[in-house]
Amino acid sequence: MLCNPSEHAVSRRRFLGTALGATMAGGLGGLFSARAAEAMKASDRQVLFVWLDGGISQFESWDPKPNSLYGGPFRAIPTSVPGTHISELMPQCARQMHRLCLLRSLCTKDQDHSSGVARIQRGDPKNRGVPYPFFGSSVANLLGPMESRLPPYVVIKEGTGGFRAEDAGFLGPAYGSLAFGDGKPPEDLLRNAALTEADDEERNALRDLFNRRYAAQRRPALTQASTFAYDTARELMRRQDIFDTSRLSERDLDRYGRTEIGTHMLIARNMLTAGVRFVKVASFGWDSHGDNFNAHASLVPKFDRAFASILEDLAASGLLERTLVIAMSEFGRTPRINGHAGRDHWPDSWSLAMAGCGIRAGAVVGATDANGVEIKDAKHDIGAVFHTWFKALGIDSEERQYKHKGQPLPLAHEDMAPIKEALA
């Protein structure tokens, strides 16, 4: 789902106002228990979610079928895990395979972008009459912000940025995503140059005073979100270093690639290091209905370089041990090659890659047949994948529930369970 321009025209004032509105409308208190909140505070787990919008081809990435009916022109190459091969377009990821877990048995239901993007990112639960949150919003809600006080759910994408409340579904706008368009913070989020730092501090002190007086007469939950929103904005103002691309080192730019996804992945690394709970890097333009093979020859190596580099860096810094890393699209691409040398949408048998905390490193879960059309054994829908991710983050999605206006709601599809083979 592409954001429309109006979604991005969100100023600092509106961003804060939205969060405040959410608090006044229902607050945070009803959404999770005090016990869970305590557990959340203790958790240091983070998520890097790389979203390849439009649909990367599984054939030209994680599940190549060289010299087969639908295999395409590319070869498969060995990886750091003996016996596991991926597309020749991903030589850097091949060297990181011992850190990755490939799921080659994805079978989902939606073959349209318009509905599929949201359906996949919401985990496609049973219809409860309410919009479920995107995975980023779920994590922001279930694990909360980290001690850094930076926003818990950040999106780094091309184009404009802004606050995207609808990601949060029934959780309410406080758990929406904050998008950094082209790596930059939302317009007007930063302090106006005409306002001195001292004046700004004075204003904030006054606001804090009013907030304390207001909070003293009400339940804390009602003021939690507003305090969080203001603090987050102030912290972002202080931490411009994490999204200032002029500070990226030449060596890192060479390693990650001087491309959009390379730069965005570097900012993501900085944000994870600085303490953002959930960082989503969104890359667009993967919908290769035409000229699929030249498109992937252009796109995949850029992703490969950036993704492999961040895996390497997260592992080197120790962050990978507590960061769940995911790379996926809304579906895969058809085995059959159309008359425009393209591949169309294919939810029937596709792949994703995971790494990091709770994930079995070096594993390949599931397999497709020789032509990549059918899944050989167990098929896995996105609901099972959500359970797997929650489990990897230490969240028991089979026991725990959201509570929305008194209604208990499962975290993920209740007929599905975590994929044990993918878990450490």
Partner 1 sequence: MNPQDAPTKAALLKTFQTASQIFHARFTACGTALVAACMDSTVRRWRFVDPPPEAAAPSAPDAKPQPKPAAKGKPVAPQDLVELAPIQGFQSWVQTLATHPSASTVYAADAWGRLGAWDALADGTAPLWCIDHAHEGWIRQLAVSPKGDLLASCGRDQYVRIWDTRDGRKIAEFKHAQDVYCLAFSPDGAQLVFGDFSCAIHVADAGLRRIERKLDASPLYLLSRMQEVTGLRVLRFSPDGATLIAAGCKPASGGFVKGTPNALPIDYASGKVGEVTVVGGESEGFFLDLGWHPAGFLAGALSGQPGSGQLVFFKPGEKGPFFADKSVANCQSIALHPGGRFLAVIGTNKGSNGNGRPAKGAPYLPNNSPIHLYSMEA
Q: Which residues bind partner 1 (CB under 8 A)?
A: 54, 66-67, 69-75, 88, 111-112, 158, 259-261, 283-291, 294-295, 297-299, 302, 334-342, 344-348, 373
* Complex with partner 1: residue 87 or 397, whichever CB lies closer: 87
**CB 64 → partner 1: shortest distance, Å?**
11
**CB 192 → partner 1: shortest distance, Å?**
32
Under 8 Å between Cβ of 86 and 94: yes
**CB 283 → partner 1: shortest distance, Å?**
6
* Complex with partner 1: residue 167 or 287, whichever CB lies closer: 287
User: Which two three-digit tokens encode residue 54?
Assistant: 């439009």
Alpha carbon distances (Å) from 408 to 28, 365, 399, 404: 15, 32, 11, 6
Question: Up-side HSE of residue 25: CA atoms within 13 Å toward CB?
Answer: 13
Residue 63, burial from CB neighbour count under 10 angstroms (0-12, 13-18, 19+)? buried
In sequence order, what are the residues at sequence separation of 6 or more whose Cβ sits closer than 8 angstroms to the Cβ of residue 273? 242, 317, 319
**CB 388 → partner 1: shortest distance, Å?**
24
* Complex with partner 1: residue 64 or 394, whichever CB lies closer: 64
Helix (H) or strand (E) holding 263: helix 260-274
DSSP 138: H
* Complex with partner 1: residue 192 or 298, whichever CB lies closer: 298
- The three-state secondary structure class of 402 is strand
**CB 149 → partner 1: shortest distance, Å?**
32
* Complex with partner 1: residue 285 or 408, whichever CB lies closer: 285
**CB 297 → partner 1: shortest distance, Å?**
7
- End-to-end Cα, the chain, rounded Å: 32
Three-state SS string over 297-362 comes to HHHHHHHHHHHHHHHHHHHHHCHHHHEEEEEECCCEECCCCCCCCCCCEECCCEEEEEEECCECCC
* Complex with partner 1: residue 143 or 295, whichever CB lies closer: 295
**CB 344 → partner 1: shortest distance, Å?**
5
CA atoms of 198 and 191, how far apart (whole Å): 11
* Complex with partner 1: residue 99 or 280, whichever CB lies closer: 280
